[in-house]
Amino acid sequence: MAQVDAPRTEPLIRATALGHVDVPASGVGFWRQVWSRRHTVAAIVAAGLLFLLLVSARGSAGGLELALLAVAATVGALTLATYVPPAGVATRAHLSGGACAVLPVVATLGAPVLLSQAAAGLAPVLVLLACYALAAGKRITDHATC
């Protein structure tokens, strides 16, 4: 006759409390609240420099390309401005996040290299704009974590 085991009374997986975990705030509401004059100045300076970098990387560009490069420079500058710590936040705490925090700045500053090697036309500029939009979205919505 087969022997029947008694039902298990212990859980198969034990849950362990980790305690309180602080996650840095992010999102559009966060940036509206902490955006300061320092961020605005950084964005304006970065937009001008990034536009010059993009135009020099692209070479000869027509009117529509220049307009799209201006938009891309503005989006890229907003991304770079989010690396300026808000008032009262330690730089080290604001720049935490490891590789996930580094990717948007690498994409923003590295994309002109790829643009300089791309064929003439609007397609590479549109890809650049999409790349900058994704980088900005990452920084604005989730700047400190993966």
Q: Give the tens place of pLDDT for each residue, 67-83.
A: 999 999 999 999 999 88
User: What's the confidence (pLDDT) of residue 15?
Assistant: 47
pLDDT(24) > 70: no
Of the candidates 75, 85, 82, 83, the residue with the CA atom closest to the CA atom of residue 47:
75
Residue 5 covered by a domain: no
Q: What is the dihedral of CA 114, 118, 124, 128, to 10 degrees?
A: 10
Contact 95, 84 (CB under 8 A): no
Residue 96 covered by a domain: yes
Domain count of the fold of the chain: 1
- Mean of the pLDDT values across residues 110-133? 90
Greater confidence (40 vs 118) lies with: 40
CA distances from 113 to 32, 46, 54, 57, 132 (A): 32, 17, 9, 7, 14
pLDDT(13) > 80: no
Residue 131 covered by a domain: yes
| Secondary structure (H, E, C), the chain | CCCCCCCCCCCCCCCCCCCCCCCCCCCHHHHHHHCCHHHHHHHHHHHHHHHHHHHHHHCCCCHHHHHHHHHHHHHHHHHHHCCCCCCCCCHHHHCCCCHHHHHHHHHHHHHHHHHHCCCCCCHHHHHHHHHHHHHHHHHHHCCCCC
Residue 12 covered by a domain: no
d(CA 132, CA 135): 5
- Mean of the pLDDT values across residues 140-145? 71
User: What's the confidence (pLDDT) of residue 146?
Assistant: 57
Q: Which amino acid is at 69?
A: L
Predicted TM-score (pTM) above 0.95 = no
Residue 7 covered by a domain: no
State the pLDDT confidence band at 12, using cuts at 50, 70 and 90.
very low
User: What's the confidence (pLDDT) of residue 131?
Assistant: 93
Residue 60 covered by a domain: yes
**What domain range includes position 113?**
28-141
Residue 57 covered by a domain: yes
Residue 52 covered by a domain: yes
- Mean of the pLDDT values across residues 50-56? 93
